[in-house]
Amino acid sequence: MKPFGYLLIAILCTFGAHNVNAQTQNNPWTASFGTNIINNPVRDITGEEGRFKTWNWNAGGFRLSVGRLITNRFYFEGVASINSISENYKNLEEEYPYASIDGMFKYHLTRGLYTLDPYVTIGGGYTWLDTNNLSLNTVGSPTVNGGVGLNIWLTSSFGFTLQTQYKHAFEEYGLKHFQHSAGISYRFGLKDTDNDGINDDKDKCPKLFGRIETAGCPDQDGDGVIDSEDLCPNDFGPPHLSGCPDRDGDGTPDKYDLCPDEQGAIDDDGCPRRDSDNDGIDDRFDKCPEVPGLRENGGCPDLEQEAREQAATKLQQQQSRDNDIKQAVTSELNKLAKLISFDNAKVTLTTNATVALDEVVKIMAIQKFMRFHIAGHTDNTGNKETNLSVSNQRAQSVRDYLLFKGIEDSRITSQGYGQENPVADNTTAEGRLQNRRVEIFVIN
């Protein structure tokens, strides 16, 4: 086995040296050295069933690997291993040299930044087995390999590696088997002060543990905006909003958006423009958004002015009602006044006059707040002084009757106007009859 082993070591060293020299200095390297065990070796040749022992380990065997980071969590690794396989029957003392060279792609689940660094592998290689019973001393076969492994890092650069692989041979005389390995691992490359997997010369934040995506600077929320420039370092947000979220997509970050769930204008604090009461003041600035108001009152109505307007409206309504009542009362009094009559040249009331005045009393009793004036008139028969005196006495007679019926003195005034205000032609008997009259007015 010694000449064969020396040859394999020389090949491995040449392969490793070539790879070391060919690598860029900016990517970290990993080297591992340890032992390996061949488990459950099988060949598809008739009569070879169960030929080899299930577990095979040689104290002089080893496994050596050199790998480098390709990108993010992917590594490529070159591996060389030496061991031996023992017979399970026939010659139990016989051991056959075993050697393999493999190229493997490794995907690390944690980017190798933690104490426990699990990974999966896939790749291929070539396996040799010296059986001493074929035309060729050494028989080899290509293999396809897959497995899992675990690095246990004691420091940022030193640790242990455990790995299990299954190697499937393509040739029928090739060896199908599991290879289990354990060893020590060392990571090397340029200086990485913060141990974030990014060398200091490429790390924009060499003293702060960061992410590859942000060139080595910390980014807690993983939004691509480093924490020192992220206005919302704990909340995922787009770079054009300095790392702050914007739930409603209106361009105003939630941090500054007074309406984070409603789209609005950027210059309006992210809120939509609304004027619920149509008073010309946006709801955002309106202290009374549901009630129209004045800008100088913050969108609220002027209560004093409103009270004055309401009082004026009520007054107008009351005056309108009073005018309607006054007109109705006046109309009724005019009808009744026409029924008030006196005997010719007399100032005493006739029976018809008292009947009419009794209806007048009813009206005055209902309208307690009205004041009245009684005017007496005559035709132009006789002289003016006499007619003035007669008209005054007739008006007083009507007033006296109303007072007698219970109407308050303060509510009634009376006066005679003689022949000065005719309503008809005094040259006819009918006209003179109309001019001899009493009128009742509402004076408030």
pLDDT tens for each residue of 274-333: 778 888 888 778 888 888 888 888 888 877 777 888 888 998 998 899 899 999 999 999
pLDDT at 21: 29
Question: In the listed set 143, 168, 188, which residue is the last one of a domain according to the structure?
Answer: 188
211 lies in a domain?
no
Average pLDDT score, the chain: 84
Q: 3-class secondary structure for 225-258?
A: CCCCCCCCCCCCCCHHHCCCCCCCCCCCCCCCCC
pLDDT at 14: 39
By the 8 A CB rule, do 423 and 323 touch? no
Question: In the listed set 188, 204, 225, which residue is the last one of a domain according to the structure?
Answer: 188
* Residue 268 banded pLDDT, cuts 50, 70, 90: low
pLDDT at 46: 77
Q: Are strands 372-377 and 412-416 parallel, antiparallel or unpaired?
A: parallel
Domain count, the chain: 2
375 lies in a domain?
yes
Percent of the chain with pLDDT over 90: 40
Helices and strands (H and E) in the chain: how many: 5, 12
By the 8 A CB rule, do 218 and 211 touch? yes
Structural domain boundaries enclosing 393:
325-442
pLDDT tens for each residue of 203-238: 888 888 888 888 889 888 888 888 888 889 888 988
pLDDT at 25: 37
Q: What is the pTM of this model?
A: 0.43
Percent of the chain with pLDDT over 70: 89
111 lies in a domain?
yes
- Burial class from Cβ neighbours inside 10 Å (0-12, 13-18, 19+) for residue 242 reads middle
Distance CA 213, CA 103 (A): 28
Average pLDDT over residues 51-77: 90
Tell me which H or E stretch contains 323: helix 303-337
Distance CA 42, CA 375 (A): 144
pLDDT tens for each residue of 371-409: 999 999 998 988 899 999 999 999 999 999 999 999 999
pLDDT at 30: 92
Question: In the listed set 167, 188, 209, which residue is the last one of a domain according to the structure?
Answer: 188
265 lies in a domain?
no
pLDDT at 407: 93
- The residue count of the chain comes to 444
* Residue 136 banded pLDDT, cuts 50, 70, 90: very low
354 lies in a domain?
yes
Q: In CATH, what number is assigned to the domain containing residue 165?
A: 2.40.160.20
Q: In CATH, what number is assigned to the domain containing residue 391?
A: 3.30.1330.60
* Residue 132 banded pLDDT, cuts 50, 70, 90: low
Average pLDDT over residues 334-339: 92
286 lies in a domain?
no
Same domain? For 23 and 168 the reply is yes
Same domain? For 6 and 151 the reply is yes
pLDDT at 417 over 60: yes
Same domain? For 23 and 171 the reply is yes
270 lies in a domain?
no
240 lies in a domain?
no
